[in-house]
Chains A and B, each alone.
Chain A
């Protein structure tokens, strides 16, 4: 079903604004667990769907926010293209709007860019019920403040996304995975060395005393790199990377608190007890641990990173890393600029936003 529900969603937000009553924005409901639960009447965006424009030779796709990610990936795949940031699909219902609002990216992120790196433009409804457009369908656009990229990762607290334009990339001609036994410490060192070399890397992960590298490019390029790295080829590993991306891998099935630590990639292993899975060539570290939030956050911050309580957390703990006071004050003012009455997903990200 392809429908344009912009007007009805705009009316609902305008009346919520008038009555100062909160709304909770929902796409495919695949990331409901992410962030704090927020009050308010649900606005379901998933029915507002359909690809609006896609021309493979322009490397741009423009679609309504409720369009299923699976539909977008199927369409792109038919033209041998892809979303560079490899959005996680925690279930088959995930939408484009949810992928952008959550700002979550898969294993390719350090090599092909983040969600916001792919964003070219958005249509949004702000907290006043105004329907606005920022950015556009072109690669380069510096007219006005970059409101569209600001929406990536804002969890719907600054606006309801109605449509999004993304830059897409050609799929690599071939893809292979290398596997090699090594400690976490060695993996991080090797990742840093390889990242400084012009190798066709497209993912780098470590788990269970093995590192896994994904190489993407022309057949000959990948073979040449394999030679340089001198390891065994695993031909059929795309399923493994998808399992990491979508958290279907065994590591993610534990019941203990799951933390996402984002740190400078070359940071040596952190002294926090628990089980680790290292992704993004060291930059994104998944930790399954019972350690206290204070201690995890203190250690992560000491190396210049931040820690998110991703799943299975104690509901009274902040999900997102607390911000320094001056920065939080600016966040509040920015929230007020887009949503003066604080009705859009209040508290989903931080209390007071």
Chain B
């Protein structure tokens, strides 16, 4: 398709849309800002950007695209880290940015009904006066939108105790590819039929477009306290994490950073981290005052007993914020010491932490690419940040290869390639390693139940079998080679 043809087709498409002109972007200069999401390594200028303002408009856009077999990629705030909102050269980019109102706050049932473009943090801010908050707190919470959080099943630093997005939402309004509007879930604690709420959450925009979300709100804990513990080795810190959990303590947050991450963060925000520690743990406990006081002293003792060389309690809220500031600034801090960095997102059973980190460190020397590790230690979610320079020829490719090996290592120890960032474009090849042919076929059959023509976010999240064959690293079960019918490349 040459450019003139595209333009003519596009004009013809727009003419049949019936959407007001201010909801349509088609000039190159208007389209360019949408060429990537938070993963800027992948870029594609969209064919067309639509910015609907009503649910009805979303329904008619999808119905129209369905009829004309035009693919659609939904986009929230564009902060995703796996390329899930990467546009298509021949498709509509559907931005939900104008759905930015909080529709209703039901204090009696502790629910907030919001539009998908509302920012994660804005929900907690809106209900703070009632002593309530929305628990999932991805580090992008200041910018990311709730619709995107649902599409990715976003996590954060408090997942071990408070769960992921899926555990904190009650109802969705979803527009299907044929334009039908569905209510999924309810304001009760469950609903009749299959748990479609769970299936929709984390489906990366492949099953439907979310146009409304009802989230559950929780009472703000009476108090929260945080401990900072320094260790001389990552393994000792890992054992201390297991020790805390085994003692029957469920911290609100339990984060680990390794030496490179500690130094980068400390130089950036001066959080008070010990510069020479091999690892630090941040352990936050929340709840009622009496509970937290008892537990904090238990954890202090445990940490010391398990080899922490220094354990400090944040004495006031200011110091608590300071301790957290270093962790929350870890990504930009690493950004200061390297031209580029690549953030991985595997999850592993915690007992394999030592093995995984030492393998990563060995590969880091092999590839000559430094790695800073930030770890949601409570729930096993590892974020190795590979430091590289995109201007050096071949370095991005080596980084991607290194990253791919880390993900495959996560699968090998019984974990997963993505804990909270989603598959998107980025990890689509590793899906071929994590799932076998039958499992991928099952995913495709589910997709077909929602979107028979495969028009919603095509090419993301679930690889085709042909793609897996081309990738060449497949799930091998019982020594049998999968896809015997497909050609090898």
In the complex, what's the smallest C-beta–C-beta distance from B301 to chain A, in angstroms? 15
- The answer on a CB contact under 8 Å between A140 and B155 is yes
- The answer on a CB contact under 8 Å between B443 and A145 is yes
A103 to B195 CA separation, bound complex (whole angstroms): 10
- The answer on a CB contact under 8 Å between A113 and B163 is yes
- Among B188, B194, B206, B350, the one with the most A-chain Cβ atoms within 10 Å of its Cβ is B194
Given the interface contacts A126-B442, A262-B188, A280-B189, does A117 sit within 8 Å of B435 by beta carbon? no
Query: In chain A, what residue has the closest Cβ to B223?
Result: A198
Given the interface contacts A114-B190, A170-B248, does A142 sit within 8 Å of B182 by beta carbon? no
- The answer on a CB contact under 8 Å between B246 and A158 is no
- The answer on a CB contact under 8 Å between A283 and B446 is no
> Within the complex, which residue of B242, B347, B461 is in contact with A57, where a contact is CB–CB below 8 Å?
B242
In the complex, what's the smallest C-beta–C-beta distance from B423 to chain A, in angstroms? 6
- The answer on a CB contact under 8 Å between B415 and A136 is yes
In the complex, what's the smallest C-beta–C-beta distance from A95 to chain B, in angstroms? 20
Give chain B residues whose Cβ lies under 8 Å from the Cβ of A199: 219, 288
Give chain B residues whose Cβ lies under 8 Å from the Cβ of A59: 245
- Is A1's CB within 8 Å of the partner chain B? no
- Is B373's CB within 8 Å of the partner chain A? no
Residue interface mask A27-59, B partner, CB < 8 A = 1: 000000000000000000000000000011111
Number of A-B pairs, beta carbon distance below 8 Å: 269
- Is A18's CB within 8 Å of the partner chain B? no
Q: Which residues of chain A in 119-161 are interfacial with respect to chain B, using CB atoms and an 8 Å cutoff?
A: 126, 130-134, 136-147, 149-150, 152-154, 158
Which listed segment binds A: B114-122, B197-205, B273-281, B394-402?
B197-205
Chain B: interface residue total (CB-CB under 8 A): 98
Given the interface contacts A58-B351, A142-B420, A218-B294, does A320 sit within 8 Å of B110 by beta carbon? no
- Is A348's CB within 8 Å of the partner chain B? no
Give chain B residues whose Cβ lies under 8 Å from the Cβ of A140: 155, 159, 164, 347, 376, 379-381, 416, 419-420
- The answer on a CB contact under 8 Å between A169 and B188 is no
- The answer on a CB contact under 8 Å between B438 and A137 is no
Given the interface contacts A142-B202, A144-B462, does A265 sit within 8 Å of B195 by beta carbon? no
A58 to B416 CA separation, bound complex (whole angstroms): 15
In the complex, what's the smallest C-beta–C-beta distance from B159 to chain A, in angstroms? 6
Give chain A residues whose Cβ lies under 8 Å from the Cβ of B220: 198
- The answer on a CB contact under 8 Å between A146 and B202 is yes
In the complex, what's the smallest C-beta–C-beta distance from B186 to chain A, in angstroms? 6
- The answer on a CB contact under 8 Å between A169 and B446 is no
- Is B142's CB within 8 Å of the partner chain A? no
Residue interface mask A60-93, B partner, CB < 8 A = 1: 1000000000000000000011000000000000
A125 to B132 CA separation, bound complex (whole angstroms): 42
Residue interface mask A304-346, B partner, CB < 8 A = 1: 1110100000000000111110111011011011100000000
- The answer on a CB contact under 8 Å between A262 and B189 is yes
Give chain A residues whose Cβ lies under 8 Å from the Cβ of B357: none
- Is B221's CB within 8 Å of the partner chain A? yes
- Is B20's CB within 8 Å of the partner chain A? no
- Is A196's CB within 8 Å of the partner chain B? yes
- The answer on a CB contact under 8 Å between B182 and A150 is no
- Is B450's CB within 8 Å of the partner chain A? yes
A284 to B190 CA separation, bound complex (whole angstroms): 9
A124 to B461 CA separation, bound complex (whole angstroms): 21
- Among B130, B291, B422, the one with the most A-chain Cβ atoms within 10 Å of its Cβ is B291
- Is B153's CB within 8 Å of the partner chain A? yes
A99 to B228 CA separation, bound complex (whole angstroms): 40
Give chain A residues whose Cβ lies under 8 Å from the Cβ of B201: 146
- Is B103's CB within 8 Å of the partner chain A? no
Given the interface contacts A136-B414, A140-B380, A146-B153, does A198 sit within 8 Å of B221 by beta carbon? yes
- Is B166's CB within 8 Å of the partner chain A? yes
- Is A351's CB within 8 Å of the partner chain B? no
Q: Which residues of chain B in 443-477 are interfacial with respect to chain A, using CB atoms and an 8 Å cutoff?
A: 443, 445-450, 461-462
- The answer on a CB contact under 8 Å between B431 and A143 is yes
- The answer on a CB contact under 8 Å between B193 and A327 is yes
In the complex, what's the smallest C-beta–C-beta distance from B119 to chain A, in angstroms? 21
Give chain A residues whose Cβ lies under 8 Å from the Cβ of B155: 140
Residue interface mask B428-440, A partner, CB < 8 A = 1: 0001001110110
- The answer on a CB contact under 8 Å between B347 and A337 is no
- Is A269's CB within 8 Å of the partner chain B? no
- The answer on a CB contact under 8 Å between B288 and A149 is no
- Is A271's CB within 8 Å of the partner chain B? no
Give chain B residues whose Cβ lies under 8 Å from the Cβ of A110: 189
Query: In chain A, what residue has the closest Cβ to B154?
Result: A142
- The answer on a CB contact under 8 Å between A150 and B198 is yes
- The answer on a CB contact under 8 Å between B446 and A337 is yes
- The answer on a CB contact under 8 Å between B287 and A198 is yes
Give chain A residues whose Cβ lies under 8 Å from the Cβ of B380: 58, 138-140
In the complex, what's the smallest C-beta–C-beta distance from A101 to chain B, in angstroms? 12
- Is B355's CB within 8 Å of the partner chain A? no
Residue interface mask B289-318, A partner, CB < 8 A = 1: 111011100000000000000000000000
Give chain A residues whose Cβ lies under 8 Å from the Cβ of B349: 55, 58, 60, 137-138
- The answer on a CB contact under 8 Å between B418 and A141 is yes
- The answer on a CB contact under 8 Å between A145 and B439 is no
Q: Which residues of chain B in 331-366 are interfacial with respect to chain A, using CB atoms and an 8 Å cutoff?
A: 347-351
Give chain B residues whose Cβ lies under 8 Å from the Cβ of A136: 414-416
Residue interface mask B232-274, A partner, CB < 8 A = 1: 0000000000110110111000000000000000000000000
Give chain B residues whose Cβ lies under 8 Å from the Cβ of A143: 416-418, 423, 427, 431, 434-435
- The answer on a CB contact under 8 Å between B199 and A141 is no
Query: Would you list 6 pairs from A and B whose C-beta atoms are within 8 A, ordered by A residue?
Result: A114-B190, A198-B219, A200-B287, A264-B109, A326-B182, A328-B193
- A residues contacting B by CB (< 8 A) are 55-60, 80-81, 103, 109-110, 113-114, 116-117, 126, 130-134, 136-147, 149-150, 152-154, 158, 169-171, 173, 192, 195-200, 217-218, 220-221, 223-225, 262-266, 280, 283-284, 304-306, 308, 320-324, 326-328, 330-331, 333-334, 336-338, 349-350
